[in-house]
Structure 1
Amino acid sequence: MELEKIDIHELLPQQEPFVMVDTLTYFDEKKTSTKFTIRKDNIFVEDGVLNECAIAENIAQTCAARLGYINKYILKRGIQIGFIGGIKNLAFSETPKVGDVLDTTIYVTEQVMEITLVNATVKCCDRIIATAEMKIAMANDVKLQ
């Protein structure tokens, strides 16, 4: 399956204008990657720069895209809602600008019942611009397709 051809809206519970990923670019059991092009009409762009809150949300939505892919294409069920349960060691080295493309990768370090722990790396122009550890807690409900 060509992941980049999947409509990202089919995988995410978020809807416009709050979608912070464009395409799913890689998926396996432990690693998931997405791309996101920063547009000037993004609600988190100020003076041509994407703020740091959007980068944290981009990481969370990469986690959501992973789970959406699992639910839709592997388990054959609806979207499951997740919540950020915690963020540790969130570090930024630079802030991206309009027109830049974020390449975000998460690595699952642990999964226990409805809690997933990930390490995340966000790159822009092949430079790491942000890293974090994130805990995602899943709701028990599954949204119908």
Structure 2
Amino acid sequence: MEIKEDQLINIHNFLPHREPMLMADYILELTKEKVVTSFEIKEDNVFVHNNELAEAGLIENLAQTCSSILGQSFFENPEADTKVIGFITNIKKIELFGLPKTGDKIISKASLISQYENVCHIFCETFNHDELLIRAEINLFIQEVKS
């Protein structure tokens, strides 16, 4: 997938995560049912071991990519100080095919299968160029935290 700099969306507008737990850099495409993100693997990433992003890092990248679909409704106003909490409630199926190395830029794609209020079931995949790294079906929960 060609990354066009003028079409990048800052993922900070759709996720509560911040460094060092932010596992996606940009949203390349976002609709109510689909999201595509990019993430460059850096040496100082907390999930990098022996120059590879560990399985847990790939899963966290997928979860953050997926939560952008559900989270966009909470972050429609980037100026608002909205606080949300979200977590994986279930991993229905997961297949791991490879691990990216430091310096790689991975692309994650997620599609909404179903949603009931603040819980959604999503199919997701991550690629390094044309190589499929991981594929999963996960359930996520997200809600606004009232102060």
Tell me the TM-score range normalised by the shorter chain: 0.7 to 0.9
In structure 2, runs of 5+ residues without a counterpart are 1-5
After superposition, the C-alpha distances for 1:78-119 in whole angstroms (9 at most, x for unaligned) are 353211101121111111100111100110000011210000
Q: AA paired with 2:40?
A: T
In structure 1, runs of 5+ residues without a counterpart are none
Instruction: Give the corresponding residue for 2:3.
Output: none
Q: Which has the larger helix fraction?
A: 1
Distance 1:59 1:128 in 2: 13
User: How many residue pairs are counted as aligned between the two chains?
Assistant: 141
Identity between Structure 1 and Structure 2 (%)? 29
Distance 2:76 2:7 in 1: 11
**8 Å contact from structure 1 (residues 68, 79) kept in 2:** no
Instruction: Give the corresponding residue for 1:98.
Output: 102
The alignment's TM-score, normalised by the length of structure 2, stands at 0.86
After superposition, the C-alpha distances for 1:29-56 in whole angstroms (9 at most, x for unaligned) are 2111100000011011011011000000
The alignment's TM-score, normalised by the length of structure 1, stands at 0.87
- Equivalent residue runs for 1:121-132 within 5 Å: 121-132=125-136
79-88 or 39-48, which moves further after superposition?
Answer: 79-88
Question: What's the C-alpha RMSD, in Å, of the aligned pairs?
Answer: 2.2
Q: AA paired with 2:115?
A: Q
- Equivalent residue runs for 1:78-97 within 5 Å: 78-97=82-101
